[in-house]
Amino acid sequence: MAYEGERVVKSTGSYIYRMLTPDSIVPNPANPQSFNRYSYVQNNPIRYTDPTGHVCYDPGLNAAMPGNCNGGSKPLTPPPTPKVTQLWIDPENVEAIQLYGNTNFAFNLDGSGPSYAYSQGFHGGLDLIASSGTEVMAGIQGEIAWVSDWTAYEPRYVVIKIGENIFMMIGHMSAGTQTELKTGQNVNPDTVVGTTEDSEEHIHVEFWTGTGERIANRMIEIPYQYMSPEVLNQFIALRLEMDENDPRITFNNRDDGMWSSMYDQPPLIYNGSNLNEGQPGYINPWD
């Protein structure tokens, strides 16, 4: 049998082909080889195996690459985005919230100290305000990456790995409530990971992507994409109960009009430069 995939049957004078189904490769004028129905495996048949004919040989890379080869197959479908399926605090116990991004609260606070310096001067997550001692749930399925403390998330925070290079952080919890959490421990949406703390009386939730030790090169991602429709609706309902002029749910008016609404917010570079520098009313938090 030749590489073309056909064999002559002398007794009948006909050809037998290796293709058991109709050839789905449609001739493409930009690819003359696609007109040759014998070359349905569009790569080097000695080096690669492609029973569908939908993998292109890329001469620049000297490799067979999946993708749109003359209308061919798509790359493997990426895993679905992990979703929070339970609000971290029971909505009945939530007194107020703060939205993600360029909130007036973050802009006004930025000048009094470097509270949001690590998140480019923006509010890098979501806040849920609740009285001290309120239970906090994981809200999502995942694995404990680490539990620690840091000024921006004090007195205690927990990081949960929720996907490949995707992490969720819950901060401002009581220091004594997570001693039983261990690195590598699996958590479910209803797993209690801590309680709200006396001085903070709220939790702060961020979503990170990145790799490296303690996600050194992390990005702070827009949180709403990681919330199920039901949880997002619960969160929006809490927002609607607040004063419409509350600085925690309103956004700073920039000269360029950017980042002025809930869903018009950017992902943030962890420890990146302040995005509001040069805007009216901006005060350098380090001065």
How far does CA 208 lie from the centroid of its chain?
7
Is the residue at 112 inside a domain? yes
What is the reported pLDDT for 283? 76
Is the residue at 285 inside a domain? no
Is the residue at 280 inside a domain? no
What is the reported pLDDT for 84? 98
What is the reported pLDDT for 114? 67
What is the reported pLDDT for 74? 45
Per-residue pLDDT of the chain (287 residues; tens, 9 = 90+): 444 556 667 777 666 655 444 455 555 666 665 655 555 445 444 444 454 555 555 555 555 555 545 444 444 466 789 999 999 999 999 999 999 999 999 998 865 666 788 999 999 999 999 999 999 999 999 999 999 888 788 899 999 999 999 999 999 999 875 567 899 999 999 999 999 998 889 999 999 999 877 788 899 999 999 999 999 999 999 999 999 999 999 999 999 999 999 999 999 999 999 999 888 888 776 66
What is the reported pLDDT for 284? 75
CATH number, position 182: 2.70.70.10
Whether residue 157 is found in the same domain as residue 213: yes
Is the residue at 282 inside a domain? no
What's the number of domains the chain is made of?
Answer: 2
CB-CB neighbours of 199 under 10 Å: 9
Does residue 184 come out as left (phi exceeding 0), alpha (psi in the -120 to 50 range) or beta?
left
**Residue 254 burial (CB < 10 Å; 0-12/13-18/19+)?**
middle
Whether residue 61 is found in the same domain as residue 147: no
Beta strand segments in the chain, E: 6-9, 14-17, 55-58, 63-66, 96-98, 126-129, 135-137, 142-148, 156-163, 166-173, 186-187, 192-195, 202-209, 219-221, 268-269
Whether residue 262 is found in the same domain as residue 192: yes
CA distance 173 to 134: 10
What is the reported pLDDT for 150? 80
Whether residue 61 is found in the same domain as residue 103: no
What is the reported pLDDT for 285? 66
Is the residue at 147 inside a domain? yes
**CA dihedral sign, ordered 113, 218, 198, 102:** positive
Single pTM value for the model: 0.73
Nearest Cα to Cα of residue 145 among 108, 183, 109: 183
Domain that holds residue 52: 6-66
Give exposure, 89-119, as e/b (b: 16+ Cβ within 10 Å): beeeebebbbbbbbbbbbbebbeeebebbbb
CA distance 5 to 16: 8
